[in-house]
Structure formats: structure tokens, C-alpha cells
Structure 1
């Protein structure tokens, strides 16, 4: 199965080749893979910044424990969750569903009300936790698409979210940097690529009930 072989190939790249960049066609494929990600209720309550600008990434490197992947990679993907409860997102989703699927808007309004009612039951802390988790679903699609295209990536939580929010002006947009992923091409000097994967054995990881 090609998927399995691709997943065996990928690893969390520690050292990128700064001279190699992703071409525009592959970049669009990565973006489409993220766009097609699953999400709770289909809402996709996040925004993804794709940062190419080197000067900006140098600022972000300082807020990322000075990790070289931030600046040496081809692009930096920053997955941002929405921090504020806003029914507009749900209304927009229902309207888009009606338009794309050709369904009468009035028949979808009850589903919209159901989503609003369900999400309103979450406490503020539950909302933040839930919305941040949504970004990880999208991140997974990025990692699998990268593996398919033989593009390297490194999912990272090792950064200061508050500083990212300040540098990127996210707070005023109601956004929060939840998780990041530099993508590009591995350096031949990255010895991490030669390490064997360490994973739990199947009989320990899985239990048939």
C-alpha cells in the first residue's frame, strides 16, 4: 500500500535544506489537502497561514526556541484556531452548504440551530481546547500530503503562541496560533532521517473488542 510506504518514509525533519523550495503546484496540492480535512460539524473553525517571507520567519524563529527549521524550510504553516464564539461561522457554513449542495436554506436552518445549541454548552475552556484540537486534524492532512509528494515536514508545538499571536497580529482577528509545521526538503546532514522508527507493536497498540 503506497500510503504505508509514504508514512514509513516521512519523519519529523530536524534539518532542512534552505536552498530547496516547494514548487507552486505542490504548494497548491498541500493547501487543497488541508482544505479537504475533516472537522467537527464540517465547520473548519481555523485559518492556516502559509509563511514564505524570510524576514518574518526570522522573527518567528526567536519565538520558536531558535529552532532552525523555522527559517531553513521552504514554507512555514501556522494553524490558527478561532478563539471567540461566533455564530457567523455557523451561518456561513449553512449558507455554503445550501449553495454547493443545492439544498433549500430553510431545510438546513434546523441543523444550524443544532450546532449552535451544542457548541453553546461548552465552557470557555472547553471551547478553546476543542477549537485547538480541530487544527490538529488539518495538520494530519498536511503531513500525509507531504509524504505523498516526498516533501518533508516537522510538526511543532515548540513555540511561544503568545509571541506568534503578537508578531502575526492574530489576536485582533480572533485567532490563536495552535500548532505549526515547517515544510521543505531534508538536508543530507540531518542524521535523524537514518534512525529507525520507534512505534508500539501492533498487539500492544490495538485491542480487538
Structure 2
């Protein structure tokens, strides 16, 4: 199968799964690929202002379900990922990132001083609300990578915003951590009786949403 055909089939196949088969679990090797898609996701400046909480504890997932409009995906999916964004950027976090660049690329940290200064000016000194919105947007980029990778692996996924972020933060111990919940993704395998899998996708015509500026 050509890569183009594989991608198109995956895009057609995937949908926001409403009901999962709780007896089916994602293999260890496939899960490693999915977590790598999160680790490899791009972010502005490459700074990665996020955390991904993989909720395995059944009791915790039951608590989260109660503050997610009792959506069964929370408890029935094989894996459940909570996307948390960094509330603010400070010089310490930026330094941590610069140190990581130096370590991975084996370059002198001093050679990164200009890049570090730019990040401090644009991020650490930016208004708090601006950074919150920016961080949330970065988290959604990572979510997109996870959803596409899951589709290519024929693993079902459901992006979810129908939840109480503040309650999630409390249940997951995020309060005071500098990170806050923004959304989640359930992953696993669709239940045979989930009728949504047989529905046609509804999308606007290409010429109404894609415009070429020449």
C-alpha cells in the first residue's frame, strides 16, 4: 500500500469513538509508538509547555468519569491521556530547556545565550493570560499528532473537552504544580455496537474551507 493511500484510508476510517470495547487493550509496542508521537510533537520554540498524564488507575478513572458528564470512554478505553498545559513560563524552565538542547546536541550552553534571551523576552516576560492561551494551543498540536498516529495504527481515539478541568486538576494532584488540564484523549478499540462507526463523515466541501492565495 502506498503511503498516500494508507494516510487517506486512515483518515476515512477514524472517527470520535463513542463506545469502546473494554476487553481490548492496546499492545505494548503500539503504545510505545503512540507515546513517541507525543514526545516528537512540535511546539513553538521547541519548548514543550505540556505534560501528558496517562491515567491507569481504575478508581481514578471512575472519579474522572464522574466529572466528564459520565462519558464511558473515560473508563472503557484501553488508555486515557490527560493533556495538561504549563500555566506560565519562567527563566528556570527556559534554562532547563536550554540545558537539554546543549546535552542532546552537544553544544556549548553559552552558544545558546541569544536563543535563551529571545525566549525569556517573548515568553517569560509575556502576560500570564497570553501564555496560558499559547500553551493550550501547543498542547492541541501534540493531540493532533497522537490522533493521526492512532489512526495509522488502526487504534480508535476520542478527543474530549466535555469535562471539568478544575476537578481534573484536583483529582490528579495538579493543583499548585504549574500545570492545568485542557483536554483528554481516550484510546482503544471501538465496540461492535457503536453505531457511530457506520455513519458517513460530514465535512464542508473543499472549496468552502480551502482557499489558495496566489
Question: Taking structure 2 as the reference length, what is the TM-score of the superposition?
Answer: 0.95
Q: Is the 8 A contact 1:45 1:89 kept in 2?
A: no
Instruction: Tell me the alpha carbon deviations over residues 47-104 of structure 1, each in whole angstroms, 9 at most, x when there is no partner.
Output: 1011121111000000101111100101110010111332222111111111211222
* Residue aligning to 2:8: 4
Structure 1, gaps ≥5 residues long: none
Aligned equivalent of 1:97? 101
Cross-structure match for 1:130: 134
C-alpha distance in 2 between matches for 1:174 and 1:104: 29
Deviation at 1:22, TM superposition (A): 0.8
User: How far did residue 46 of structure 1 move?
Assistant: 0.5
- Aligned Cα root-mean-square deviation (Å): 1.0
SS in structure 1 opposite 2:24? Answer: coil
Unaligned runs of 5+ in 2: none
Query: What number of residue pairs does the alignment pair up?
Result: 209
2:209 is the alignment partner of 1:208: no
Give the TM-score, by structure 1 length.
0.97
Following the alignment from structure 2 to structure 1, what is the Cα–Cα distance between the partners of residues 55 and 161?
Answer: 17
Cross-structure match for 2:81: 77
Do structure 1's residue 45 and structure 2's residue 49 form an aligned pair? yes
Deviation at 1:121, TM superposition (A): 4.7
Greater than 2 Å deviation, 4+ residue runs: none
Q: Which moved more, 1:185-194 or 1:115-124?
A: 115-124
The question of 1:184 aligning with 2:192 is answered: no
